[in-house]
Amino acid sequence: MSLRTEEMTLNMGPQHPSTHGVLRFVIKADGEVMREAIPDVGYLHRSIEKIAEKVGYHGFMPYTDRVDYVCAMFTNQGWGMACERLGGIEVPKRGEYCRVIAAEFNRIASHLLSVGTMGMDIGAMTPFTHAIREREMINDLIEELCGARLTFNYMRIGGVAWDLPPGWREKALAYLDHFDPIWEEYNALISYNKIYVERLANVGVINLQDAIDYNLVGPNLRGCGFKWDIRKDIPYSVYPEFDFEVPVGTGEFGTLGDAMDRYMVRIREMRESSKILRQALKQIPDGPVLAKVPRNFKPKAGECQVRVESARGDMGWYVVSDGSAYPWRVHVRTGSFAAMGMINKLSRGLMIADLVTLIASLDVIAPEIDR
Amino acid sequence: MDALRTYDRVMQRFGDRILEINEKAHDPFMVVEPGAIVEVCRFLRDDPECAMNCLSNEIGVDYKDRIEVVYELYSYPKRYGVTLKVKLPRDNPVVATVETVWKSANWMEREIFDLIGVTFEGHSDLRRILMPEDWPGHPQRKDFVEPMEYHGISTVRESPIIRLEAGKK
């Protein structure tokens, strides 16, 4: 007797608990093995780029939070830097330090969420609660800094809105003292857990050439073993003043560039962020935090590109000014958009259950894809 | 190598198919004849001096009198980037796809097609990406007017502030 198999078309999402936002896939599968998964995005499209053309330079800052609400500090910073470059504004040193401190805390928070949901997506609920516990403390710290826990609107064109509140520095250092040993807990709980490693190792292997061809950025690119970090390689802000490492994938558990490598890069980056934070909190100079920027900010006609290393990698801002108080065109190129473009290729031959692992390991955030 | 020297190198090779080199912009750019964009891109990718192995960004901009497609290229081995532009007529913007040179162009060109309305010839999968399939027009065009409703769903609502102020009287 010969068994007959046939292709089956499945729908996954948009309201699926493990798709990290509103994402939809049309999966063509043969039994448990996928022939391909076609991503269908756009469910979270809020035309943020178009809004920018209507609200002006200062007014757009709160909207940038919504581009990527898991690491909103970086979108704030990208927009701020683009406007400063167009207008030729110098940010005061203390302002830059405040930016770096806020952004690196945000990076830890974002990676914690990624690590936590990674566990949850493959069926381990406990790591999520552990990760969220530490993330809550960062949210509390940032709330004290700017009044918000998710959509920060902390930065302004020319610096940051508020200086560090009294006593905040000590609280931040106390948190880091608490966080560094806790970091080992994640490794003990999940990173070196046999079941966890089995689910992640050798899944969704990306080779470096494809990664560059598809424009993968950030931890996804570094997971392929390529040492590339905008903070080091195209330095901006005050990052050259800090001493930190750029962790890369090593293939220690399976193949170079698999899901486990991307996960380990994130785990290790948290420790590097903690290192940067300690130096920044120690070295922060006195002075103003916000440059004098006219309320009616009208940069000269022209265009500029800015690249920021967000938690999801190189975020590229392209801003065109026509000399008026409203930007002519704003475009954000985000890491998740590129990563989603690659999923169709990566999904071929993968098990359906591993698709969830793949999405989680690429750390895709839906609002960042759709903007 | 840096951006300006690369532009000179491309100029020598392609001559009058390069329309303009702007050195004064924040990020110096080069305007290429639309018909030559794929050749120029392939040259920049394969030339060992430039080695532009990554298309890091592709953007469409509507300037009311023309449409520009901006290509931001980056070379990881040589650690620098260049910017190319093509200028297209507004009523029928068509340009060849660079998807054959870099895969990342696939989704970025779909986005430009969707929001600006540029047709990329030779693209393998030119569908709308962010807007619904049956959406009228291209929202990032400057003359785009949002329809009042979509499948019976209103796209406007009364401002709550106006309602509050009406209540005061």
pLDDT of A18 reads 66
**Residues A154, A73 contacting (CB under 8 angstroms):** yes
Type and span of the H or E element at B22: strand B18-22
Please state, in angstroms and rounded to a whole number, the distance separating the CA atoms of residues A305 and A106: 23
Distance from CA of B134 to the nearest CA of A (A): 13
- A16-20, A92-96, A324-328, B11-15: segment of lowest average pLDDT: A16-20
Which two structure tokens, joined as six digits, stand for A262? 């991307």
Report the pLDDT averaged over residues B17-46.
86
Residues 6+ positions from A193 with CB-CB distance below 8 Å:
none
Residue with tokens 């250092």: A173
Which two structure tokens, joined as six digits, stand for A110? 């974002």
**Residues B32, B39 contacting (CB under 8 angstroms):** no
Predicted confidence (pLDDT) at residue A120 exceeds the cutoff of 70? yes
**Residues A369, A362 contacting (CB under 8 angstroms):** no
Residue whose C-alpha is closest to residue A101's, from A65, A136, A138, A63? A138
Predicted confidence (pLDDT) at residue B169 exceeds the cutoff of 60? no
Going from N- to C-terminal start, the domains of chain B cover 3-168
pLDDT tens per residue across span A122-132: 888 888 888 88
Report the pLDDT averaged over residues A148-157.
88
Residues of B in contact with A345 (CB under 8 A): 103
Under the banding of pLDDT at 50, 70 and 90, the label for residue A23 is confident
Residues of B in contact with A47 (CB under 8 A): 139
Predicted confidence (pLDDT) at residue A17 exceeds the cutoff of 70? no
User: Do B83 and A305 lie within an 8 Å CB cutoff?
Assistant: yes
Q: Distance of alpha carbon B13 from its chain centroid, rounded?
A: 24
> Residues B52, B58, B61, CA angle at the centre, nearest 5°?
140
Residue with tokens 């203390």: A94
**Domain at B3-168: CATH code:** 3.30.460.80
Under the banding of pLDDT at 50, 70 and 90, the label for residue A318 is very high
Report the pLDDT averaged over residues B139-150.
85
Put the strands of the sheet holding A313-321 in their side by side order: A302-310, A313-321, A327-333
pLDDT of B167 reads 66
User: Do B129 and A42 lie within an 8 Å CB cutoff?
Assistant: yes
Above 0.90 for ipTM, yes or no?
no
Task: Give the dihedral of Cα atoms A367, A263, A114, A163; nearest 10 deg.
Answer: -90
pLDDT tens per residue across span A91-103: 998 999 999 999 9
Report the pLDDT averaged over residues B54-81.
89
Q: What are phi and psi of A237, to 5 degrees?
A: 50, -140
Please give the C-alpha separations between residue A139 and each of A107, A142, A149, A284, A337, in angstroms, as whole numbers: 12, 5, 5, 21, 26
**Residues A361, A339 contacting (CB under 8 angstroms):** no
Q: What is the DSSP letter of B77?
A: T
A232 touches B at CB < 8 Å: no
pTM here? 0.88
Please state, in angstroms and rounded to a whole number, the distance separating the CA atoms of residues A347 and A357: 11
Please state, in angstroms and rounded to a whole number, the distance separating the CA atoms of residues A215 and B46: 17
pLDDT of A1 reads 67
Chain B residue closest to A318 (CA)? B59
A252 touches B at CB < 8 Å: no
Task: Give the dihedral of Cα atoms B115, B119, B121, B122; nearest 10 deg.
Answer: 40
- From chain A residues 55-114, the ones with a CB under 8 A of any chain B CB are 85-86
Cβ atoms < 10 Å from Cβ of B89: 11
pLDDT tens per residue across span A245-292: 888 888 888 888 888 888 889 888 988 899 899 899 888 888 888 888
Residues 6+ positions from B163 with CB-CB distance below 8 Å:
none
Question: Considering chain A, what is the average pLDDT of its residues?
Answer: 87
Predicted confidence (pLDDT) at residue A121 exceeds the cutoff of 60? yes
Which two structure tokens, joined as six digits, stand for A31? 């039994």
Under the banding of pLDDT at 50, 70 and 90, the label for residue A319 is very high
Residues of A in contact with B26 (CB under 8 A): 85-86, 302-305
Predicted confidence (pLDDT) at residue A84 exceeds the cutoff of 70? yes
Report the pLDDT averaged over residues A196-217.
87
Percent helix / strand / coil, chain A, rounded to 5: 50, 15, 35
**Domain at A56-339: CATH code:** 1.10.645.10
pLDDT of A158 reads 87
**Residues A25, A9 contacting (CB under 8 angstroms):** no
pLDDT of A115 reads 87
User: Do B26 and A303 lie within an 8 Å CB cutoff?
Assistant: yes
pLDDT of B86 reads 92
Could you tell me how many helices (H) and strands (E) chain A has, helices first? 14, 8
